[in-house]
Amino acid sequence: MIKEKRASDVEKILAKYPSKRSAVMPLLYLAQEEYGYCNDAAIREVAELTALDPTEVKSVVGFYTMFFEEKTGTYVVEVCDDLPCALRGADAFVRHCEHKLGVRAGETTPDGKFTLRTVMCIAACDRAPVAQVNREYHYSLTPESFDKLVDDLK
Amino acid sequence: MDKHVLLRDLDIPDIRELAVYQANDGYAAWRKALTGMKPDEVMGVVKDSGLRGRGGAGFPAGLKWSFLPKDIFPKYVVVNGDESEAGTFKDHQLIENNPHQVIEGVALCAYAVQAGTAYIYLRGEFYEPARPLQKAIDEAYAAGLLGQNILGSGYSLDIHIHLGAGAYICGEETALLESLEGKLGQPRLRPPFPAVQGLYAKPTVINNIETLANVPPIVLNGAQWYRQYGTEKSPGTKIFCVSGRVNRPGNYELPLGQYTIRQLIEMSGGTIDGCPVKGVLPAGSSAPILPVSALDTRLDYESVQAAGSILGSASFVILDDSVDIVWAARKMVRFFRHESCGKCTPCREGTFWALRLYDKIVGGHGSSHDIDMLADVANGMANKCFCLLGEFATSPILSTLKHFRPEYEQFVREHQNGLPNTYGDQLIRDHAISVAGGSVVEVAY
């Protein structure tokens, strides 16, 4: 699918490295965008493009936390609850997020809209509590600003 | 300091724009090098400046460059922008707000070692801050500052951004190389060192983003100019990331050795509500905690080491008296448990069992025996791990036990029958998630 739909992106990625194998992570990101998550079809396609065995690609998917092995919500909400953020109220903030979305961290809302995850430090401790929604940062969150963020995405 | 050397966006807000950067000495060092300096001269200036690696190890940058064999090609420059140490957010600001200085530094390093390709490895979560950096790279190509035959010098250089995907271990330089080669981010056995056999088994320089951002002003103004900042052994300025229980967390660029930890906390607006400081982590979760008695330690590599910790990436996490030390230590150990790559047994198993013990204690089922066992687990890991991640994982355990053992004892005394306090459910749930891989289950002890 990415071979046809994202042909020029695939070509650009492969051209960056002397070894096809180096393209496995950028291609997995592309595949994840197109397939929704790193399912078997996505893995097989990336394996073919990088001349790797599908099991090798699967092991890369399993090792890194940003490749999803299961279907996620449309919006993946990742809230940092590591020490620096937790010193500024991140634990209570995570509980607020759970309450707002009606799921616990690690779960997806029944309508398939939001997946809530807690993550380790994401390098924005000066603006805690901090979250990423589909990899875009949201800094200095409050319960109110989080509610608005979620309501705007609904 | 009247003007910043690195965080120049604080003095010149639009410096991320190529025209603004060039109007403020931007790419002047690059032009100077390409039109009038031999690669060895660039390396020489950086060596003389005494610039030390800002990623954590503090190894002299120019010396590191000089280890590359001259006669083997291709060579590579790999830039470490994994920035995953808890409490570190300096490279984030640099690539977002002053990206051209980073690019110029990468280019000067590549020229000095005669590499034709550089990869900037950014943590996957920098998907958004990678955009201004990529834009700046594109602008530099368009202006003829990167690419083929740059400024008619005959020298050619390509710079690519590579995004990781969420793995702290990839900040370890050989794990980063593995990751860049498309493999699991697990560290390599050394020797061979990356300088000889690095990326694709070719000679490779690996430097942190902040380290290379220092290079353009050094090449432009000279080693002596740079040495006006800092101390004899720790020259230059350093970005200090301050987070935790202070009023104004943020990045503070200071000359090394000029100020103390106490002054850094004051610059950050002091502690919230003026609460007394309990302890300071000078380099995120990896650094042994320093007690209040060390607050007058000067901010340079040697002084922090003499005080019993490490300056590392200078990510100062400030803990005040409102912070429960057992809770804080558990958070840090949970981090290492999550980030252990699984390659070596002491780290993989040690972090697992240490977290189990913390969960037991924090869950209100601990005893004095469990505190001793924590020390046993940490001592069983120390000096036995394949890479520094496992060694660092012992820091929060051993250093908090060293300075705050009575708090542990008090904690187990006061929490004998389950945990009645407010953060209990969160803690137990974290553990359940780590055990069950995402789904919440009851954990019985």
Q: How far apart are the first and last CA of chain A?
A: 28
Give the per-residue pLDDT at B363: 84
CB contact under 8 A, A121 and B335: yes
**Chain B residues near residue A65 by CB distance under 8 angstroms:** 165-167
From first to last of its 445 residues, what are the pLDDT tens digits of chain B? 779 999 999 999 999 999 999 999 999 999 999 999 999 999 999 999 999 999 988 999 999 999 999 999 999 999 999 999 999 999 999 999 999 999 999 999 999 999 999 999 999 999 999 999 999 999 999 999 999 999 999 999 999 999 999 999 999 999 999 999 999 999 999 999 999 999 999 999 999 999 999 999 999 999 999 999 999 999 999 999 999 999 999 999 999 999 999 999 999 999 999 999 999 999 999 999 999 999 999 999 999 999 999 999 999 999 999 999 999 999 999 999 999 999 999 999 999 999 999 999 988 889 999 999 999 999 999 999 999 999 999 999 999 999 999 999 999 988 876 554 444 444 444 444 443 333 333 333 3
Q: Are the C-beta atoms of B215 and B46 separated by less than 8 Å?
A: yes
Nearest residue, CB atoms, A87 vs list B163, B245, B251: B245
CATH class (in words) of the domain with range B325-436:
mainly alpha
Q: Which residue has the higher pLDDT, B429 or A108?
A: A108
Question: B439: which chain A residues are within 8 Å (Cβ-Cβ)?
Answer: 106
Name the residue facing B182 among A50, A84, A94 (closest C-beta).
A50
- Domain B237-320, CATH class in plain words: alpha beta
Asked, colleague to colleague, whether B8-227 and B325-436 share their fold, the answer is: no
On whether the CB atoms of residues A139 and A132 are closer than 8 A, the answer is no
Q: Give per-residue pLDDT as tens, A9-18.
A: 999 999 999 9
Which chain B residues have a beta carbon less than 8 Å from that of A84?
86-87, 243-244, 284, 317
From the list A24, A105, A135, the residue facing B128 with the nearest CB is A135
From the CA of B244, how many Å to the nearest CA of chain A?
A: 5
Which residues, numbered 34 to 73 in chain A, qualify as contacts with chain B under a Cβ-Cβ cut-off of 8 Å?
Answer: 50, 52, 59-60, 63-67
Report the pLDDT value the prediction gives residue B444, as an integer from 0 to 100.
Answer: 33
Domain A2-63: CATH superfamily is: NADH-quinone oxidoreductase subunit E (1.10.10.1590)
Do B371 and B409 meet the contact criterion of CB atoms below 8 Å apart? yes
Cis upstream peptide for B282 (omega within 30°) = no
Let me know the angle formed at the C-alpha of B187 by B381 and A37, rounded to the nearest 5 degrees. 110
Give the chain B residue whose CA is nearest to the CA of A123: B89
Nearest to B380 by CA among B348, B407, B358, B410: B348
Structure tokens at A55: 């099991």
How big is the CA angle at B140 (ends B136 and B146), to the nearest 5 degrees?
130
Q: What span, in angstroms and rounded, lies between the C-alpha atoms of B308 and B328?
A: 19
CATH of A75-153, picked from 3.40.30.10, 3.90.550.10, 3.90.1200.10, 3.40.449.10, is 3.40.30.10
Per-residue three-class SS string for chain A: CHHHHCHHHHHHHHHCCCCHHHHHHHHHHHHHHHHCCCCHHHHHHHHHHHCCCHHHHHHHHHHCCCCCCCCCCCEEEEEECCHHHHCCCHHHHHHHHHHHHCCCCCCECCCCCEEEEEECCCCCHHHCCCEEECCEEECCCCHHHHHHHHHHHC
> What residues of chain A lie within 8 A of the CB of B332, using their CB?
83
* C-beta atoms surrounding B234 within 10 Å: 22
Per-domain boundaries in chain B: 8-227, 237-320, 325-436
DSSP string across B58-105: --BHHHHHHTS-TT----EEEEEE---STT--HHHHHHHH-HHHHHHH
| The token pair that represents B296 in the structure block | 């007058």
pLDDT at B419: 52
* pLDDT for the residue numbered B436: 36
Q: What pLDDT sits at residue B364?
A: 84
Shortest Cα distance from B335 to chain A (angstroms)? 7
Give Cα B14 distance to the centre of its chain: 26
Q: Number of Cβ pairs closer than 8 Å across A and B?
A: 154
Chain-chain contact of B182 with A91 (C-beta, under 8 angstroms): no
Instruction: List the CATH code of the domain at B8-227.
Output: 3.40.50.11540
Residues of A in contact with B285 (CB under 8 A): 83
Q: Which residues of B90-222 form beta strands (DSSP E)? A: 117-122, 158-163, 204-208
Is there a contact between A128 and B249 if contact means CB atoms under 8 Å apart? yes
Domain positions in chain A: 2-63, 75-153
Contact at CB, A125 and B241, closer than 8 angstroms:
yes
Task: Give the DSSP H/E element, type plus range, for residue B318.
Answer: strand B315-320
ipTM value = 0.97
